[in-house]
Structure formats: structure tokens, C-alpha cells
Amino acid sequence: MKLAVFGASGRMGQAVTRLAHAAPDIQLVGAICAADDPALGRDAGEVAGVGAIGVELSADIAAGLLGADVVIDFSVANAVAPLFAASEKAGVAIVSGTTNLDERGQRALEQAAAKVPVVWAPNMSRGVQVLAEVVQHAMRRLGAEFDVEIVEVHHRKKLDAPSGTAIRLADAAREVRTELAELRGRDGQVGARTDEEMAVFGVRGGDVIGDHTVHLLGPSERLELTHRATDRDLFARGAISAARYVLGRAPGRYTIADVLGG
């Protein structure tokens, strides 16, 4: 598999580069970063800490995709639309873990999926996918008598809140109970909790990679379902598994559930 990495100088991009370089079935052929990135022009392997691999970080998306079968994207929401458009034009499959896409990004993603296979997921972890499935199973078994609240914890440098994963879990909960209305905070005399509320809270501090807990709170008992990430490599491994999965697939949208075979 010939792979390009978009956002290659970031923490996740470096992790993908490092793991891809170690994989015997993957050849890194492109590494793309922003035009004002200090790493521009450097060897992607050196930036990732694995030594020179002969792939230079470039701000030219088309050049970075040249010869690639799949591009893995871990970047920022306002940067992805040009990538999706270029990937569509070049016939390059997409694996994207960039969260909180705006309308332009969503539209570009849908347009690309009409021409190439796309996996977009707010979290590339297999465990988070299973957590979402377990939450839905628990909610069906426990019924509407149990309140649902979601709390996520991330490092102090995270830019967005709540996390894309927390939003993914909230969406999973609403698939079971469509009446749930998402709440992003409580302050002051808000009154008693309603049956339709589902709060999603973000906590920031330290170097926490990512913790997500879904609280199911009922009369006289509660259930807390938690996923904790302890190494960013797990997201890179998930993205690489997704890249292997989409290689040669028909155009369309695919999920981590598809990658897991469920």
C-alpha cells in the first residue's frame, strides 16, 4: 500500500509516519503539512524520529498525493476540504480522523465519497467503537428510566470541546432514545433535570490523552462505562487498519464498525 499522510508534522501525523515506516506492507510516498509549518521541507522520517526516509514534507497537496493509494488525515477542520477535493480528483482513498468538520468540510467529504472510498471517524480506536455499541445495548436493556450523561477528559492543549468522540457517543445514545436533547453545560438556577436532557461535559488539564465516560444513572444504581486512551499510537494503528480496509473498496462512506467487520 502506498500511503500519504496529511498533517504529517503533527503528533498524530508523526505517529502514523513512524508506524507506517515500520510496516513491511506500506510505502510512505507523501507527507503534507501547512505552508507556514516550521517542518516544511524537512524529511518526514526525521520529523517523526525514525531517520531519513526520502519523503519531504510539502505544502502541495496534489504533489503529496502523487502515487498514493490512500491518504491518512489527522489535521484541523478548516484544512480538510482542499484535501478531500484533491483526493477525489486523484482517485486516492481517504481515512480521516479530523473532528468538528464545518459545512464546507462535510460537503467536500460527501462529494469525495461519491468517487473514492472514505473512512471518517472522530476516533480511530477499536475500543471506542465497542464502547458505543455497549452503551446502546445497555440503554436498550435499562430503558428510559436511566439518565444519560457523558464526561470527557483531555490534555490542556486540546483546542475543541466537547471532543469528537464525546459527540460520537452522544449520537450513539440518540440512536436508541431519539428524544434526548444534548446539553453542553449547567449553570445557575437551571431547575430539576428533565427526562430528555443528556449533558456532555469537557474537562481539560495535564497531559491526558483521552478519557470518555458514559454515565447511566437510575434509581438506586448507576452504571459507568469508560474508555481510557494511554498511548496516541492506538489512534495511528486504527487509522492504518482503516487504510488497509479501504484499499480497493468501492466508493462510499465506511465506518470503524465496517473495519472491525460489524
DSSP string, 6-71: ETTTSHHHHHHHHHHHH-TT-EEEEEE--TT-TTTTSBHHHHHTS---S-BEES-HHHHHTT-SEE
Cα–Cα dist 206/220, whole Å: 34
Q: Please give the pLDDT value at position 45.
A: 97
Q: Please give the pLDDT value at position 150.
A: 98
**Tens digit of each residue's pLDDT, the chain (262 residues):** 999 999 999 999 999 999 999 999 999 999 999 999 999 999 999 999 999 999 999 999 999 999 999 999 999 989 999 999 999 999 999 999 998 888 999 999 999 999 999 999 988 999 999 999 999 999 999 999 999 999 999 999 998 899 989 999 999 999 999 999 999 989 999 999 999 999 999 999 999 999 999 999 999 999 999 999 999 899 999 999 999 999 999 999 999 999 998 5
Question: What pTM, to 2 d.p., does this model score?
Answer: 0.84
Q: Please give the pLDDT value at position 56.
A: 97
- 212 belongs to the catalytic site: no
**Of residues 136, 137, 135, 82, the one with CA closest to residue 105:** 82
Pick the CATH number of 2-124+232-260 from 3.30.465.10, 3.40.50.720, 3.40.50.300, 3.40.50.2300: 3.40.50.720
Q: Please, how many CA atoms are within 13 Å of residue 144, restricted to the half-sphere of its CB?
A: 11
Instruction: Give how far the C-alpha of residue 151 lies from the chain's centroid of Cα atoms, to the nearest Å.
Output: 18
CATH number of this structure's domain 126-229? 3.30.360.10
- 154 belongs to the catalytic site: yes
User: Which residue in the block uniquely carries the three cell numbers 518526514?
Assistant: 44
Angle at 233 between CA 123 and CA 204, to 5 degrees: 60
- Going from N- to C-terminal start, the domains of the chain cover 2-124+232-260, 126-229
Secondary element (H or E) of residue 179: none
Residue of 21, 154, 212, 227 marked active site: 154
Domains 2-124+232-260 and 126-229 share a fold: no
Q: Please give the pLDDT value at position 176.
A: 98
Residue of 2, 115, 158, 215 marked active site: 158
